[in-house]
Structure 1
């Protein structure tokens, strides 16, 4: 598919070799303490030909920001050696390596297990964590902004080509944007303009760190969920999201990465050429990925690049790509971290194996 093979120039001048993005996936390949080990290094080395832009799974910027067990972290210098090895593996075939910066906020189940504390914009109960929520003070919110900045500096030191700020899937940045979870009346909440302040402050801090490091070719992206509705009807709609996207695009970000393709046309129009748009494919097929570029600049894939770690490399040479894991031997050759792979009996295999004995992959993004 020629659409997927095209190069793309980002705002900062970096040219991506193709329009395929490896979506952030939680591999559970780090240690319990968040240190990247050989499992993740091998996983990414095997997928260095998967896409022009590879994004790590959610990487915690704070010890209070961990949701997934065995997810990697970046909130202290001790994590840099493992992250350095990971970045090197991701870039080993000439593509770009991005680390996703993340704070789970009130969803930080693992932090709650470890520290018996969970924080958020307001003390609003969620289903993910059983326990009291500590509302962040205004000064503590600024401290979290600083943590995103410090994480960016570590990403630069580790050799990554950029960072993706995780503002999606109900985690901390989205919690500040949502009127459901943000019931503050101070600088950080109360109106739409104020609910946008935390995400925009994080973007500004990341940009300041990159500028101070004199890394003009460092990529900065932002992941966003377009709508949110809770059982009581409270949340936000695409109209409010478009206002945030307008503000994000105005900062000069290199890309905005959506979590669902339903509003691509509206978002693309709102961006109006100011930054690149990453969408997602409806299915694992090559045709679906190419079709997704009708209203976007890049397309992110997850399950497909688990089953076919040489996806982009094979497209470039017109080779057939695999769309399912169909044998034990194939699974062994994919270098999947052990905790990422679970054997089950049943049909469909989460889209990876069509029938019978199957693999179910945890790809929470």
Structure 2
């Protein structure tokens, strides 16, 4: 029996791990061991996802918690080394681009354990993003590379990764989305508003395709007072034309309070700030929206599959296929209002679904693992 450690550390990892855990359940040749590093430890950012996505409780939880990049990475490495010594796995599979991804790959590689990186080859070409450093480090020392799109293959080939080690098998996020959409559609869309004695209900206060969804948490957008204040003004102005619903990331909410911007937000009655959502509620919210306005990564893929216009407020994206083929547009802050106006006038981008984004990626990965480990 081959022992495979799967590593999850942060919110996006869970949606990628879930289909693999389902596909490996009761597998005759591969025994999965699920390790949760605890990089995200709040129930809304981790535990809730295991419940909603029907993932079994982690076999091991390192519970590293929040810290600086260096301290958190060191804690993960220290804890994961002990796991590898105890479990003696035949291979370690990491996903995505968070600190846990790079830390666990480094530990396994130094211990001579075969390392497999799912979502390999994605590049923003912006080293100001911590995730880009994690991607580069992970791919520099991995043994097997699973990619989600052709551009990721091209990036790896340019970095002298042998073609036979690269496997374009599709997108696990879409596997989770396809499986969970029916269940998500039955979740409640009533939300309490932060700092207001009121709430909203999608379908009552406003209907499907009559609102936008926002997610912002990138340091370049929310860690600088002037930048965040500028965004608040733009959000407010847009909300006068179309309601905006924002499940606020803890980092963003903390800075809103720190920069004393809550009053500016409260001045706009249709700018709805709510608590972070579980996966099912969030997907339900997005699937009924007219558009999304974001600086996040995964939502670019989900909206591409759903055919919903997505405006990504970043200088670069590591998921260019969502622009070339999908419904995503990469914009700067000054372009937010004109692009939203285009959507409101019925000219929003739709796009197509990329190859292998079909809900069957986990099956293909398991078939590949049978040959590789």
Q: Same fold (TM over 0.5)?
A: no
User: If you compute each CA radius of gyration, which structure gives the higher value, 1 or 2?
Assistant: 2
TM-score range, shorter chain: 0.3 to 0.5
TM-score, length-normalised on structure 1? 0.33
TM-score, length-normalised on structure 2? 0.33
Between structures 1 and 2, the one with greater helix share? 2
